[in-house]
Chain A
Amino acid sequence: MYRGVSPIEIIRAKGLGFKYQQADTGECWALRDISFTINKGEFIVILGPNGSGKSTLAKHLNALLLPTCGEVWVNGLLTSDEANHWQIRQLAGMVFQNPDNQIVATTVEEDVAFGPENLGVPSAEIRARVDEALELVGMAGYKKHAPHLLSGGQKQRVAIAGVIAMRPECLILDEPTAMLDPRGRIEVMETVQRLNKEGITVILITHFMEEAVIADRVMVLADGRLAMSGTPAEVFMRGDELRALGLDTPPVVRLAQELRLAGVELAPSVLTVEELVSELCR
């Protein structure tokens, strides 16, 4: 199934379009002509207003949805070939928005083991993978805990561990922080960044602009199309366009913009409070 894929490419979408039937209005294109490639080890953030097709796109990246037209490859495997589905889902693990609705088992360790169990991994190796995955997300002390007694951030980290235990190349997170309190959000984002440093490709779907700042590359979806793509600095430079799409730049970026208009000289790459401070103190 390999089609001249360069060794570092992990996901490629070509002319991806997805159409679904709606009861009242008939056909509706959720995604239109989307093309991109994602390389191994990258940290990608996909931004977009509600209804822009972010979640639909995410579900195409591990064959939960299949394109109406165009193609998606994961590690050189075509998603529309059903024989590839299980391998693709092992390679591209997915964490969902609601932490409650993705935990299957009654204890943390049993839940993390769920994926490897489905893959038919031998018991001893499952044990090793569960311990390792819980260690990586900082939940090693909660093995026997019942999931409903954990905080939202902890549940989401257990869900991430459940994916990590399948040894994926790529972690897709569909608004993992949307239902969390600020502390849970920080926990999850720190975990995701740490995993990315370990070499796992991360694709984070979010509508929190602050979370996009740490990305290697940001893709902005609007009305099912890929509206913008580039480094966070490049994308946030186009603040007016973002606002036209119903998105906003992070407050720091906007402040930097205002300062520039007021005549303060600032590098175009200011994205965080720390960067702004060091720019101003220069």
Chain B
Amino acid sequence: MNMFRSITIGQYLPGDSLLHRLDPRAKFIALLLFIVAIFLVNTYWGYLILAVIVTTFLFTSGIPLSYFFRGLRPVYYIMLFTLLIHIFFTKGGSVLLRLGPATIDSYGIYLGFYMVLRIIFLVVSTSLLTLTTSPIALTDALEYFMKPLSYLGVPAHEIAMMMTIALRFIPTLMEESEKIMKAQMARGADFESGNIINRAKNLVPLLVPLFVSSFRRADELAIAMEARCYRGGMGRTRLRELQATPRDFLAVAVAGLIIAVIAGTGL
């Protein structure tokens, strides 16, 4: 019954570290810049620099390391697959091992581990953002970035509100699907055996009631929101207005500097 447990999206852990206190917009931009840096890195020396930066934040964030490993779990197979593909199919360098017609080359191993490191960096640095930033702050940041688009008719506020509500209801709907699953299993439904097509078919009796109840919830929520004077983004204030401090500009500047150093030195 743990099929829903490993999803860490929006698993915000409250805290008081530097990362927690940074403006979500600054964190967002800094993360984007950092991801660019990850892709720019050419050598293991470059990764060493990134590793120092990431581990510093890992340990100062006050978030248990197990959370990051949990975030990596879904990509284990991707990492393994990437590694094997490169080891067997990337040619170059010296031949280390000959297995009939196939060879394992040194460059393949080099590139394989290199790509795996890249994936690890991507996942861990993104988790650093999602684990230290509340979903609300994240949607606030997204709303801010989307604001220019509202002049083109993009409903920026509505999209942000939908994301907030989606995040709010993910745990509720998970609880509900577990409840429905147990109820169906108590009456002999089988969700765990058979091939993938059968298992997908068996999910229908789970999804139908879940859909029905979601619509009912949406209806009730809409009435409750209206009762609390919700009328779209116009004239709305916020409990927490985003306020960028010099620290936030510094964070973005530092991330930019990392890119510059990596690109400049060719690391």
Residues of chain A whose beta carbon lies under 8 Å from any beta carbon of chain B? 59, 62, 64, 86, 89-90, 93-94, 96, 98, 100-107, 109-110, 113-123, 126-127, 130, 144, 146-148, 162-163, 166
Contacts and interface: CB of A to CB of B under 8 A. Distances in A.
Contacts of B136: 105-107, 110
5 contacts: A62-B227, A104-B164, A104-B228, A106-B136, A114-B228
A161 B14 CA distance: 23
Contacts of A110: 136, 239
A104 B171 contact: no
Interface residue SS majority, chain A: helix
Residue from A86, A100, A127 with most neighbouring chain B CB atoms (10 Å): A100
Contacts of B220: 96, 98, 101-102
Nearest to B227: A94
Contact of A114 (B171, B223, B230, B241): B230
> What are the 6 tightest A-B residue pairs by CB atom distance, in nearest-first order?
A102-B224, A113-B239, A101-B220, A148-B171, A118-B229, A115-B228
Most buried by A among B135, B217, B224, B228: B228
A114 B239 CA distance: 8
A167 B236 CA distance: 17
Contact of B168 (A96, A98, A105, A123): A105
Nearest to A123: B241
The number of chain B residues touching the other chain, given as a range, is 20 to 34
Contacts of B224: 94, 96, 101-102, 104
B167 interface: yes
Interface in B203-241: 216-217, 220-221, 223-231, 235-241
A119 B136 CA distance: 19
B175 interface: yes
Contacts of B235: 120
Nearest to A115: B228
Given A100-B172, A148-B171, A86 B229 contact: yes
B168 A122 contact: no
A114 B231 CA distance: 11
